[in-house]
Amino acid sequence: MALVVQKYGGTSVANIERISNVARRVAKTYDQGNDVIVILSAMAGVTDSLIALAHQAVEEPDKREMDVLLATGEQTTAALLAMMLRAKGYQAQSMLGHQADVVTDSAYGNARIIEIGAKPLRKLIDRHTIVVVAGFQGYDIKGNITTLGRGGSDTSAVAIAAAVKADVCEIYTDVDGIYTADPNICPKARKLKSISYDEMLNMASLGAKVLQIRSVGFAKKYDIPVHVRSSFSEEEGTMVVNEDSGMEQLLVSAVSHDKNQARITITKVPDQPGIAAKIFSPISEEGIVVDMIIQNTRQGGKTDMTFTVPKVDFKRTMQITQKVAGEIGAEEVMGDTDIAMVSAIGVGMKNHSGVASVMFNTLARENINILMISTSEIRISCVIEEKYTELAVRVLHTAFGLDDEETQV
């Protein structure tokens, strides 16, 4: 007998028929002798519609009221599932964020969970009631309703699993697991049996498409095994786990790509102490996250600095950088958005050398120029021209032995 937390995403509860499919799955898990806590998202598209509705009502919706509005999406699905389970004869009850005691800070629209008082959940679980919790929402110490940022019900699920010390947290979504690369561009990508928290955290877009990244940090901190799987099949998905827990031993586990980065270069920056702080402080003060930075030393006490930021922040960062460049007497600011980052990720790299050279040689063989490189213990990333992204992912996938040999291409 286990305590199972199951989270179903928007596509899994998109209409009554699908919610009834969820009810069937939950009932089955319960009938196998488990206690079940279900966390739900809003029906697919509902959160977007509610946001649009608010903007029809007023130009700039009040943030507190926006969260009150958005929380209704999850309230709807939680109530529907609970009533369907009850109609089947199960003891089931819905709970909103505050009823489940999900305490957050007061950052409306992007609140962080501070703690979850497990008592209200425990009380019901001890009576073997199936609890259906509205995901994505909590409340602050003043009692205001808050929401956890887009995709936040993943984080609700993992945090609740941690609070009640669940045996597993299953995340049901519309993909059947985590792949060695994006199957849309790499036909030979295959589903991984398991992947570590750290690899997942390093997978940028590949991972973020499947799970809210914040939830992975939570899972790692509390060592909660997360099973990512599809609500439309019975097949096992991918386990996201601690790296010591008997994972597949691969040198490289995945090749990911990210087309959402842009590159900015400042030329002839005076090479003096404090210069990097002058350039990057105003950028981070704007809440813009700089990913890679490289600095080239030139002759005559001048240096070039190149760095990447998310594409959505490109224009703003250019403006800030141009202003700073003027102040510090740099020569020129150049930017381009036609870049992509490809990365090889794997905890296996920690104990092996040579991964970087395989990566560089493979790209060289295809005549793909590397614009920037960064490495960490378990990741090597190269910035390349955007138009080569698909090719780069495919050849690297092959080079690292990840191809699914059964795929007919």
7 to 66, contacts with Mg ion by CB under 5 A?
9
Asked if 108 is part of the footprint of ligand ASP (rule: CB under 6 A), the reply reads no
DSSP string, 48-91: HHHHHHHHHH-SS--HHHHHHHHHHHHHHHHHHHHHHHHHTT--
175 binds, among Mg ion, ligand ASP, none (CB under 5 to 8 A by kind): none
List 77, 94, 146, 153, residue binding ligand ASP (CB under 6 A): 153
Residue 51 CB-half CA count within 13 A: 9
Stretch that binds ligand ASP, among 144-152, 291-299, 307-315, 360-368 (CB under 6 A): 144-152
Asked if 12 is part of the footprint of ligand ASP (rule: CB under 6 A), the reply reads no
Task: In whole angstroms, give the CA distance from residue 338 to residue 204.
Answer: 18
| CB of 72 or CB of 99, closer to ligand ASP | 72
Task: In whole angstroms, give the CA distance from residue 228 to residue 158.
Answer: 12
Residue pair 227/237 in contact (Cβ under 8 Å)? The answer is yes
Please report how close the Cβ of residue 358 comes to Mg ion at its closest, in angstroms.
34
The sign of the torsion formed by the CA atoms of 287, 288, 292, 296 equals negative
Please report how close the Cβ of residue 255 comes to Mg ion at its closest, in angstroms.
23
Alpha-carbon distance values, 203 to 9, 197, 373 (Å): 21, 10, 16
List 13, 38, 42, 81, residue binding ligand ASP (CB under 6 A): 42
Task: In whole angstroms, give the CA distance from residue 370 to residue 40.
Answer: 43
207 binds, among ligand ASP, Mg ion, none (CB under 5 to 8 A by kind): none
| CB of 42 or CB of 204, closer to ligand ASP | 42
Stretch that binds Mg ion, among 6-14, 130-138, 320-328, 355-363 (CB under 5 A): 6-14
Stretch that binds ligand ASP, among 149-157, 197-205, 258-266, 323-331 (CB under 6 A): 149-157
List 11, 41, 303, 317, residue binding ligand ASP (CB under 6 A): 41
Q: Does an H or E element contain 341, and which?
A: strand 339-345
Q: Is 323 helix (H, G, I), strand (E, B) or coil?
A: helix
Stretch that binds ligand ASP, among 145-153, 279-287, 293-301, 377-385 (CB under 6 A): 145-153
Please report, to the nearest 10 degrees, the dihedral formed by the alpha carbons of residues 15, 17, 23, 28 taken in order. -140
Number of residues that bind Mg ion (CB under 5 A): 2
Asked if 177 is part of the footprint of Mg ion (rule: CB under 5 A), the reply reads no
Number of residues that bind ligand ASP (CB under 6 A): 13
SS (H, E, C) 86-123: HHCCCCEEEECCCCCCEEECCCCCCCCEEEECCHHHHH
Residue pair 122/129 in contact (Cβ under 8 Å)? The answer is no
Asked if 136 is part of the footprint of ligand ASP (rule: CB under 6 A), the reply reads yes
Q: Is 191 helix (H, G, I), strand (E, B) or coil?
A: strand
Please report how close the Cβ of residue 152 comes to ligand ASP at its closest, in angstroms.
5
Which residues of the shown chain bind ligand ASP in the complex (CB under 6 A)?
Answer: 9-10, 41-42, 47, 73, 135-136, 150-154
